[in-house]
Chains A and B, each alone.
Chain A
């Protein structure tokens, strides 16, 4: 299994749709997780951190399933501005600052 694996997509959805992405990770000792958003040809920006079973911020919900070692990101009521690549990120090893990035899932929201 890859250390962090994501379905690259693209996911093409209409405005207003609900869409979910999954990310699987191999390090069962990981305690914290991140979702970053990356717009085309730009730097990644933090969307959400996940430390316990999940986190919610407006239309965005992240859920963690430790038993199955996956994290999901749910986007409700999709906007055109949500079109981007979403990166799943997992710490590489304990307290070194090293992160492992998934290859990203691309979302295209259509009018």
Chain B
């Protein structure tokens, strides 16, 4: 059963703590993306990767880091430098990165700050 998985579903972060959100896909997609969604707002792009071992900053990359060591995995670390991390985090993937490519989303991780 192909798809995108994200874990955990809920994550609690203490002040000053780094946390890592997992994203795995078995769709054999080249491109992967991380978005953040705040209540009543559209999705905003944090980082994206068009191919293994390469990634680019999106519109709101400050306070976040990623790696793409394997095609199927694109973990996101929320660092202590991110001052307002409470949000719904969505990972997506697409076959390629052309304008016509559909992006498929994982179920998301809700991050809350304690």
Contact = CB atoms under 8 A, between A and B. Distances in A.
Contacts of B101: 97
Contacts of A51: 100
Nearest to A93: B99
Given A31-B99, A97-B50, A4 B42 contact: yes
Contact of A87 (B31, B33, B42, B50): B42
Contacts of B106: 43
Contact of B102 (A30, A43, A49, A104): A49
Contacts of A31: 99-100
Interface in A80-111: 87, 91-92, 94-104
B66 to A, nearest CB: 14
The binding surface of chain A is classed by DSSP as loop
B99 A103 contact: no
A32 B33 CA distance: 19
Given A32-B100, A43-B106, A46-B102, A104 B48 contact: no
A38 to B, nearest CB: 9
Interface in B6-62: 31, 33, 35, 40-45, 48, 50, 58
A97 B33 contact: yes
A34 interface: yes
Contacts of B94: 97
Interface of B: 31, 33, 35, 40-45, 48, 50, 58, 88, 90, 94, 96-108
